[in-house]
């Protein structure tokens, strides 16, 4: 085994131990109370997880996207919310890594890697989600600063975190609209207001908030890449990795549902035999296991393409679409296999069923993924 593989194995073993000993025993209580897992997050900082994909020269672990996806899938198989704490943080880091100036990389990536600066991505607004070019939050240059006014919603990690990659309009009249969009590294300060924490069906324990910007002043040196007008492309480039890690979350949830279903189907007896011996249950298990395996292969293939520096929006889109639908389908089938117990908060399956739908929406809805796949198909196969 080469050195890199050995290192990856050691990291995955450490994650498994951490999840078994320090996370699993607390998930039910924290999730049901919608309580932020502060102690667990401190351990995640110590383990270097906030720097998973940040290169070693900037203080991170320098993991490949493939290893990072394996880390995310394992975390999500125990508690999906925890993976969200590092995922959107690392999309912010990926935007700086790919599009930031060298000065910005040196100033921010080491602080992102330790978790000293921690947060996510501030894109969505009350009137703009999928259609990001319709955002209205505005930044106006004023000397060595920009003054930001507007609001964002559904911003994960923005309550407990202290920094977000903030997408704004610097030229609202620009045509095409994306030429007027810019991205800032926005640390909390006067005028950066967390207006409220949002209630959610699942993905609980993690903070998703509404934000308001009232004459918030951000230094011009925090404009990613140092130029106005590239914000949307910078965000979209980061979303390729984001989609791979949402796919990995889907894989984690689908795997957990399969695991619980296989175990329960052997314990529960009806008509004198374990339900795993009834053909109707076997058909479900067969489908669930096939979905997990197919999702795993799609996630790996997208992550490898990303690691190889290839354009991979189609591969990431396929992995995101399939693996997250697999999570939803497996959660429902796992619930059916558990009968009434699947409807009880005593069993983890009700959480999978509440967590999985987010994956169909976040990092580009699954409707949009299929459209992206189709567009790429046509582009790659012109007649």
Ligand X SMILES: Cc1cc2nc3c(=O)[nH]c(=O)nc-3n(C[C@H](O)[C@H](O)[C@H](O)COP(=O)(O)OP(=O)(O)OC[C@H]3O[C@@H](n4cnc5c(N)ncnc54)[C@H](O)[C@@H]3O)c2cc1C
Which residues sit at the interface with ligand X, rule CB under 6 A?
88, 120-124, 129-131, 154-156, 200, 203, 208, 358, 361-362, 365, 367-368, 371
Nearest residue to 363 (alpha-carbon basis) of 263, 247, 203, 253: 247
Closer of 200 and 338 to ligand X (Cβ): 200
Q: Which residue is nearest to ligand X (CB)?
A: 129
For ligand X, the closer CB: 88 or 170: 88
Shortest Cβ 125–ligand X spacing (Å): 8
Residues for the chain: how many in total? 383
Quote the distance between the C-alpha of residue 355 and its chain's center.
13
Of these residues, 199, 350, 363, 367, which one is catalytic? 363
CA-wise closest residue to 186 among 156, 151, 224, 150: 224
Least Cβ distance, residue 184 to ligand X (angstroms): 14
Q: Which is nearer to ligand X, 23 or 90 (CB)?
A: 90
Structure tokens given for 260: 């619980």
- Check if 363 is active-site: yes
Distance CA 331, CA 261 (A): 9
Find out whether 210 and 124 touch, Cβ atoms under 8 Å: no
* Least Å from the CB of residue 195 to ligand X: 15
Of residues 194 and 368, the one with the C-beta less far from ligand X: 368
Three-point CA angle 375, 96, 304, nearest 5°: 50
Coil vs helix vs strand at 27: helix
Nearest approach in angstroms of CB 16 to ligand X is: 26
**Do the Cβ atoms of 190 and 217 come closer than 8 Å?**
yes
Tally of CB atoms within 10 A around 190: 9
Q: Which residues are catalytic?
A: 363
């Amino acid at each position: 085994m080469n050195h890199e593989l050995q290192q990856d194995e050691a990291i995955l073993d450490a994650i498994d131990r951490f999840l078994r000993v320090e996370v699993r025993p607390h998930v039910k209580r924290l999730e049901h109370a919608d309580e932020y897992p502060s102690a667990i997050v401190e351990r995640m900082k110590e383990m270097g997880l906030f720097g998973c994909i940040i290169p070693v020269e900037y203080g991170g672990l320098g993991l490949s996207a493939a290893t990072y996806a394996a880390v995310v899938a394992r975390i999500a198989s125990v508690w999906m919310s925890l993976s969200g704490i590092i995922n959107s943080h690392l999309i912010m880091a990926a935007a700086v890594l790919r599009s930031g100036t060298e000065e910005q990389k040196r100033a921010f990536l080491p602080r992102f890697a330790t978790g000293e600066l921690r947060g996510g991505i501030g894109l969505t607004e009350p009137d703009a989600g999928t259609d990001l070019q319709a955002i209205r939050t505005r930044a106006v240059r004023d000397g060595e600063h920009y003054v930001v006014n507007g609001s964002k919603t559904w911003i994960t990690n923005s309550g407990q975190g202290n920094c977000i990659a903030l997408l704004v309009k610097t030229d609202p009249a620009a045509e095409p609209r994306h030429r007027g969009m810019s991205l800032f590294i926005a640390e909390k300060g006067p005028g950066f207001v967390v207006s409220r924490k949002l209630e959610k069906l699942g993905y609980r324990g993690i903070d998703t908030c509404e934000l308001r910007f009232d004459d918030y002043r951000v230094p011009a040196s925090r404009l990613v890449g140092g130029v106005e007008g590239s914000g949307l492309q910078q965000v979209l480039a980061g979303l390729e990795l984001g989609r791979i890690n949402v796919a990995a979350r889907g894989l984690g949830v689908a795997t957990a549902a399969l695991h619980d279903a296989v175990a329960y189907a052997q314990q529960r007896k009806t008509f004198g035999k374990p339900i795993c011996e009834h053909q109707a249950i076997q058909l479900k298990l067969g489908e669930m296991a096939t979905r997990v395996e197919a999702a795993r292969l799609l996630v790996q293939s997208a992550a490898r393409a990303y690691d190889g520096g290839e354009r991979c929006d189609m591969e990431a889109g396929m992995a995101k679409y399939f693996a997250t639908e697999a999570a939803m389908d497996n959660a429902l089938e796992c619930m059916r296999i558990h009968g009434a117990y699947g409807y009880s908060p005593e069993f983890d399956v009700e959480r999978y069923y509440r967590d999985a739908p987010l994956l169909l929406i976040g990092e580009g809805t699954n409707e949009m993924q299929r459209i992206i796949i189709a567009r790429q198909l046509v582009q790659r196969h012109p007649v």
